[in-house]
Structure 1
Amino acid sequence: MQDKRFQIANREALIGVALVMINFAIWFGFAYGLGSGDPTEYQYILGFPAWFFYSCIAGSIFMIFLIWLTIKIFFKDVPFEDGEEEI
C-alpha cells in the first residue's frame, strides 16, 4: 500500500503545475494580446503600457491571491516522519 503522503504530494504538485499554467496564460494573453499593436496607440495605466500593467503587475497580484487561496483550501500539513498517525 502506498503511503498517503505521496498521494497528497502528487495532488499538490499537479495543483502547482496548474497554477503555473494559469500564470503563463494570463501573462501571455495580456502581453501579446494587448502589446501586439502599434506602440504609438498603446493605452497607459499608472504610466505603464496597459499590456505590461495587466500582464506583470495586475497578473502578479491576482496570482499571489490565487496561490494564497489555493493553499488555504487544497493544501494540508503532512508529517515527514514515518509512523505518524493516519493522515
Structure 2
Amino acid sequence: MEKELKKKQDYRFKIANREALIGVALAVFNFIWWFAFAYGLGGRTPENYSYVFGLPAWFFYSCVLGFVVMTLLVIIIVKVWFVDVPLDEEEGE
C-alpha cells in the first residue's frame, strides 16, 4: 500500500513542501532579526538611544532596514530556488 501511495504522490507536492519550508525559514529569520534589534538596542532608557535618520536606532534597524533586507531576500530566493509548476491535471491521469 505504501508503494502505491508513493507512486501516486505528485512531484509537485515535494516542490511545494520545499518552498513552504523556505518560507517558514524566512519568517523565522525575520522574527529573529526584528527581535534582536528591537529588544537588543531598544532595551535601554530613551535618554541613551542613538538615532539613525531621526529614528531611534532600534526602530531603524529592526523595522526599516529589516523590511529592506527581507524584501531583497524574498526576491533573491524566489528567483533562485522557487520554480514554476503546472497547476492543471497532468495528461494520462
Shorter chain as normaliser: what TM range? over 0.9
Pairing of 1:61-80 with structure 2 (within 5 A): 61-80=68-87
Shift of 1:83: 1.1
Runs of 4+ in 1 over 2 A off after TM superposition: none
Superposition TM-score, scaled by structure 2 size: 0.88
Equivalent residues, number? 84
- What is the identity percentage for the equivalent residue pairs of Structure 1 and Structure 2? 56
Larger RCO, structures 1/2 (Cα 8 Å, 6+ apart): 1
Gaps spanning 5+ residues in structure 2: where? 1-6
Letter in 1 for 2:11: K
- Measured in 1, the distance between the counterparts of 2:23 and 2:43 equals 29
In structure 2, the residue matched to 1:52 is 59
Is the radius of gyration larger for structure 1 or structure 2? Answer: 2
In structure 2, the residue matched to 1:20 is 27
Could you list the per-position Cα deviations for residues 65-86 of structure 1 after superposition, in whole angstroms to 9, with x for gaps in the alignment? 00000001110001001116xx
Letter in 1 for 2:76: L
